[in-house]
Structure 1
Amino acid sequence: MTRVLLVDDQDLVRQGLRLILELAGLEVVAEARDGAEAVAAVAAHRPDVVLMDLRMPGMDGIEATRRIVASGAESRVVALTTFDLDEHVVDALRAGAVGFLLKDVTADDLVAAVRRAAGGEPVVAPAVLARLMAGFAARPPAGVPPRGFADLSEREREVLALVGAGRSNAEIAAELVISMATVKTHVRHIFAKLDLRDRAQAVVAARDAGLV
């Protein structure tokens, strides 16, 4: 059973999230009201997924995410917020979050997102991903490629560009006319060379490298 930690400074929000998740058969192992409580709760309960509000008094969700990831915890953080500003998306992903959802997400989509996150998949609200990609495309390249980028082969750079554009492994295989196994191998090598945790961070890396 997927184990979840809820982090939000509003009691009513946490109660609503708990009800949705528990009705779907997920286990809420703990709740936290701010980032400091969240960091302590992850250490104590080792949840599979952390639903993390970003704007909270005291330690905010971005700093808490950064500390959770730095601690080496295997918990996967999904940012959940009312705000969809691009800087919040990028900050959350840079901190190590594997996804970004808005609080107007439906109950079914929330449950599906938690399950995907627990299974190792990135989860980003479609509206947020569309705005993020549009914003990246409209801005000039950052000019500072991620560490290890020079070690990527030409094919690996092509694959990273497609990952950055939100393509699935199957779509990448079809576009480059290679097998799924080959795509997975390229992705694995890219993650190792750039020290990436997941595809969400790969989107940021692709942008930093000027590939998006």
Structure 2
Amino acid sequence: MITVLLADPHALHRLGLRTLLTSRPGLTIAGEATTAAETARLDERLRPDVVLLGSGLPATDVTTTVRRLRQTRPPGSAAPRVLVLSSAHRDEHAYDVLRAGADGFLPATTTPDDLVTALSTVAAGNAVVSPRLAGALIHPSATASAPQYRSPRAGWRTSPNANAMSWQPWPPAAPTPRSPHSSPSPRPPSSPTSAES
């Protein structure tokens, strides 16, 4: 069972998320918070598996909350996984949130099924972002506003739901590059076949 702490200042947003998540098997609501400070306090007390930061939270509060969630649990206790829903349309906000330590970042237009899949993906130890943001992170030169950013989880794979992407270790160890001027190593001469007399 995945326990989720909801954080959003708007009661209507929390009601919608609570109704969705409690209707799905394997998910349960550990608690609800309305501010960044309350989110950190409840996380320390309830120890949920995932903290879901809703789109009603101001962008600066989201980044601050993610940082606090990485610091408030006692030593020896694993930090929660953090998934962010955002109505902000600026890539810079997503980069700031991911740098702060969030494990996922999705737009508020995410479908219910995609959100449930993302929660499971994050709870399992992977991270998830929308395909558009994934493209901006993989090819930052294609986005004028994209900073030179490299996440500690440096690669991607398509998640079971095609509308989300999850991080996976990448790339595999590359072979040692060969100098363009070097010649291929000679093969050892093959032994001559003995002819029958």
Q: Do both proteins adopt the same fold according to a TM-score greater than 0.5, normalized to the shorter chain? A: yes
How far the C-alpha of 1:171 sits from its partner, in A, is 7.5
Structure number with greater CO (CA < 8 Å, separation at least 6) is: 1
Deviations 1:4-46 (A, max 9, x none): 0011111111111111111112101101111111001101110
Q: 1:164 to 1:68 in 2, by over 3 A?
A: same
In structure 2, how many angstroms separate the alpha carbons of the residues matched to 1:137 and 1:104? Answer: 23
Which residue of structure 2 aligns with residue 18 of structure 1? 18
- 1:119 corresponds to 2:124: yes
- Secondary structure of the 2:57 match is coil
C-alpha separation between the residues in 1 aligned to 2:136 and 2:129? 11
Aligned length: 160
Provide the secondary structure at the position in 1 that maps to 2:156: coil
Moved over 6 A (4+): none
Cα RMSD after superposing both structures:
3.2
1:49-198 aligned at under 5 Å gives the runs 49-53=50-54, 56=57, 60-72=61-73, 73-135=78-140, 138=143, 142=148, 164=154, 166=156, 172-173=171-172, 176=174
Encode CA deviations 1:53-90: one digit per residue, 9 max, x unaligned.
Answer: 36636x71110110111224521111111113111111
Q: How many Å separate the matches in 1 of 2:150 and 2:137?
A: 18
Change in Cα spacing, 1:134 to 1:4, as seen in structure 2 (3 Å) is same
Kept in 2: contact 1:6–1:51 (CA 8 A): yes
Match of 1:28, SS state, is strand
For 2:53 and 2:34, the matched residues in 1 are separated by 10
Q: Which has the larger radius of gyration?
A: 2
Alignment partners' CA distance in 2, 1:54 and 1:132: 21
- In 2, Cα distance between the equivalents of 1:164 and 1:145? 7
- 2:24 is aligned with 1:27: no
Query: In the TM superposition, what whole-angstrom CA distance separates every residue of 1:74-123 from its partner, at most 9, and x where no partner exists?
Result: 21111111113111111101111001011111111100100110000111
More strand by share: 2
Q: Cα distance 1:70–1:130, how it changes in 2: closer, same or farther (>3 A)?
A: same
Q: Which has the higher helix share?
A: 1
When normalised by structure 2's length, the TM-score is: 0.69
